[in-house]
Amino acid sequence: MTFYRHFPSKDDLVLAFLDRREQLWTHEWLEGEVLRRAVTPAQRLLAIFEVFDEWFQRSDFEGCSFINVLLEVAEPASPVRQATASYLAHIRRFIRGLAEDAGISQPEEFARKWHILMKGAIVAAGEGDHQSPLRAREVGVLVLEAETGK
C-alpha cells in the first residue's frame, strides 16, 4: 500500500523514473562529462561519443531508458510516451546549444542529425556493436566538417 500512496499508477511510477533518469543521466552524467572533457563546442559534440564509448563498455550497459520506453509505449497520446519524447528533446536542446556555440548556421537541424547519430550508436551497441560510438564519431567529424567548413 505504501508504494501506491507514492505512485497511484504504473504511469506515475514510470514518469517519476524518467524524471530522475533525466536528472542523473542527461544532466549530471552526459552533459557534465561532455563539458568536463572538452573545451570548444566542436570538441564537446565529439566528446559525446567518447562518453558513450565508456558507457557501452560497462558490464551493466542496457541501452537508453528513454529509447527503450519510447519503443515500448506505442500510444501517441500516452503521457509516458509524450514525456519520453520531451526528455529526448531536452537532449537535442543541449546539442543545439553546442551547435549554436560552434557557429553552425542551422543549429536545430544539426541537433536532429547529431541526435540520430547518438541514438543509432546506442541501438547498435544494444545489438552488440560496442565500437558504434567510435563509428558514429567518425561520421560526426564529417558532419561537423560539412557544417563548419573546417
**pLDDT per residue rounded down to tens, the chain (150 residues):** 576 778 888 898 999 999 999 999 999 999 999 999 999 999 999 999 999 999 999 999 999 999 999 999 999 999 999 999 999 999 999 999 999 999 999 999 999 999 999 999 999 999 999 899 999 999 999 999 999 887
What distance in Å separates the CA atoms of residue 7 and residue 15, rounded to the nearest whole number? 10
Angle between helices 107-126 and 41-57 (to 10 degrees): 10
- CA distance linking residue 12 with residue 100, whole number of Å: 35
Residue 96 to residue 142: CA distance in whole angstroms: 17
In the prediction, which pLDDT does 59 show? 92
pLDDT for residue 25: 93
Q: How many residues does the chain have?
A: 150
Instruction: Give the number of domains in the chain.
Output: 1
Provide the CATH number for the domain around residue 66.
1.10.357.10
Enclosing domain of residue 41 = 2-148
Cβ 17 vs Cβ 6: under 8 Å: no
Q: The pTM is what?
A: 0.92
Q: 115-136: b or e for each residue (b if 16 or more CB lie within 10 Å)?
A: bebbbebbebbbeeebebbeeb
| Residue 75 cell numbers, joined | 500510444
Contact between 52 and 122 (Cβ < 8 Å): yes
Ranges assigned E (strand) in the chain: none
Q: How far apart are CA 141 and CA 138, in angstroms?
A: 5
